[in-house]
Amino acid sequence: MRRQEQATSQSNAPAQPVRRAIIKSAAATAAASLLPGLQTQARAAGIGKPELAEVKIGFIPLTDCAPIVMASVLGFDKKYGVKIIPSKQASWAAVRDNLVTGGIHLAHVLYGLPYGVQLGVGGPKKDMAILMGLNRNGQAITLSDALAKDGITTGPALAKAIAEKKRTYTFAQTFPTSTHAMWLYYWLATYGINPMKDDKVITVPPPQMVANMRVGSMDGFCVGEPWNAVAINQKIGFTAVTSQDIWTDHPEKVLGTTAEFVQKYPNTAKAVMAAVLEASRWIDASNANRTKMAETIAAPGYVNTQVETILPRILGEYTNGLGKSWHDKHPMTFYEDGQVPFPWISDGMWFLTQFRRWGLLKTDPDYLAVAKAINRVDLYKEVAAELKVPVPASDMRSSKLIDGVVWDGKDPKAYAHGFKVNDLAA
């Protein structure tokens, strides 16, 4: 049974009073939200003096940009001798291009994007580096209210409609190698829908998803928050499935850069990692901190939405837009005692298996070697040791996804080739 169904309770209460109650409760202790030790200005001895005084970090207006923003706003960056300048980007393609050309130094970025650039999938080829994870969970697949009116609210119902071929169904993801493309494809394939053959898939930047659905350009999309919540608030869509229901505690955004940047500015990279790691730990420390974070990133310079739109799902309080409400046991998280920021090798390998499954890669790469080259576990462990952040005993982990298939990284080629629904072409 899916976790969402296990944790669900029926409710027909209006969403807005619920959100206001959540905000009022969480804000009650906000005065105590500052992390002890913020005044400490001494850098951790093992990190060293940054080579650069300022770093420009690209971000997309999504809730999970929070560690980057809060590292800057709360002054964690200054603690490690570097100034973070958050730089809003228009699309993930812009993030990619600015990373490759040096327009930005680092980025809040989709996990699969550095892997695509490393292998030259759908764009320029350049050696990349993932320094740490930024968050787990907290994305969703939204279907249009027009589908709901036709009785299509579940994966099986959608599969039946597509099989009847009465029309072409269009779905949007945020970038060809994005996490959102992989969650969308995996979910569709779980119900026998081949996203490469049975429907139409388009690429749309996150902030443009809702507007495109409003004018009828798509039947569904996969994107990060707050845009799924916005679709519900504007009464144009409903949450069909959360990403944590597809893969509980899945990796999502990462702190990414080029391998060249890490080689030229290793102390700067570690200083930024330390600042962002402290911000991640701060956010997860309390609901008061999460409330302060939501209030901060809702500003026009960041996500540009209402705090009432961001906060409920950050606190795990979900409504699906069809009258169902539940407390999600696996909402978006940023730290979890060091589990979230650790750059698991097996997580990177999983994205490669899906690139192969869906024909983005025409041959099997050396899954382990590529992941070890991109995921800088060595740098992360250095920084974690200085901040006394626990690290896992292994670089690999095991997970069971929505279709019941277990991923543990032991045989990635067999895993990639083992799905009945695929577009391997070789």
Residue 44's pLDDT band (boundaries 50, 70, 90)? low
* Residue of higher predicted confidence among 302 and 11: 302
pTM over 0.75: yes
Residue 34's pLDDT band (boundaries 50, 70, 90)? very low
* Cβ burial, residue 93 (10 Å; 0-12/13-18/19+): middle
What are 178-198's pLDDT values in tens digits?
999 999 999 999 999 999 999
Please give the span between the terminal C-alpha atoms of the chain, in angstroms, as a whole number: 34
* Cβ burial, residue 83 (10 Å; 0-12/13-18/19+): middle
pLDDT of residue 162 exceeding 60, the answer is yes
What are 208-249's pLDDT values in tens digits?
999 999 999 999 999 999 999 999 999 999 999 999 999 999
Residue 47's pLDDT band (boundaries 50, 70, 90)? confident
Compute the mean pLDDT over every residue in the chain, rounded to the nearest whole number.
Answer: 91
Helix or strand run (H / E) with residue 28: none
pLDDT confidence of residue 45: 57
* Beta strands 139-144 and 237-242, pairing class: antiparallel
* Residue of higher predicted confidence among 7 and 45: 45
Domains of the chain: 139-247 (3.40.190.10)
Instruction: State what percent of residues in the chain have pLDDT above 90.
Output: 87
pLDDT of residue 37 exceeding 60, the answer is no
pLDDT of residue 334 exceeding 70, the answer is yes
CB 290 within 8 A of CB 315: yes
Least confident piece of the model among 2-11, 28-37, 154-163, 197-206? 2-11
